[in-house]
Structure 1
């Protein structure tokens, strides 16, 4: 009986560690702001940062994969959060967002845009990117 309790307690403890470790690192990736592009431009101008835009759609498989993997990387998050104002923009949600797609010629998803505080395009890349690929793209834009 004592052994069953010990095994049961150990099992619960191991499961708790597994569950907690699966949440470790969540939220340590890229922090996306919930501001409009206009407000992001103001913030970028004030702080001297560039703006990183993840232009995505709800139906885009590679977009979802990047959101779940690449954008969750802690090292990438630290770099992007320090150097960029980060925005996620669902490009087909309303007329304002479709205007952003038109202005920056977004024709495929995912598209990652890097723009300055005046709204000038610095860099545009299309398609799924790994952490290392996205880091190289971001570093080349700075």
Structure 2
């Protein structure tokens, strides 16, 4: 009887803690590909590009990825209105982006049109509501 009770409690516990039963919160869905491919996708969808220029060793960059970029409202707004891409500034492609947009610190967040012309940029860690307001400078 004791084993059955333990089994029942264990099954009950897992049924309530299963990830399938919890509401799923989705943040920014970053494009998997290079910057030129992201611009092409943006052109086809008639959207601007949201570009996160980061470094793997950067503390504020890691905090953005763990918090702001995972925020549900941020994801909803940016996924609807932009083609989002994150590029490591320490890569060959990243160096080209740094030179093109005059990036001087990490993270640098850039909004560009689908031709790659910068519309606005900001640097450093930002909270979710600040990032949404940043995006609304270009897409109300």
- TM-score normalised by L of structure 2: 0.87
Distance 1:97 1:22, change over 3 A: farther
**Poorly superposed stretches of 4+, deviation over 3 Å:** 2-5, 21-24
State the Cα distance separating 1:7 from its structure 2 match.
Answer: 5.0
State the Cα distance separating 1:35 from its structure 2 match.
Answer: 1.8
**Matches of 1:15 and 1:65 in 2, distance apart?**
30
- Residue correspondence of structure 1 range 1-142 to structure 2 within 5 A: 2=1, 5-18=4-17, 20=19, 24-25=23-24, 28-94=26-92, 96-142=93-139
**Matches of 2:9 and 2:52 in 1, distance apart?**
43
Structure 2 portions without partners, runs of 5+ = none
Structure 1 portions without partners, runs of 5+ = none
In terms of fraction of residues, the more helix-rich structure is 1
**Matches of 2:21 and 2:31 in 1, distance apart?**
24
Distance 1:12 1:32, change over 3 A: same
**Matches of 1:89 and 1:43 in 2, distance apart?**
16
Equivalent residue pairs, number: 139
How big is the alpha-carbon RMSD for the aligned residues of Structure 1 and Structure 2?
2.1
> What SS does the aligned partner of 1:46 have?
helix
> What SS does the aligned partner of 1:113 have?
strand
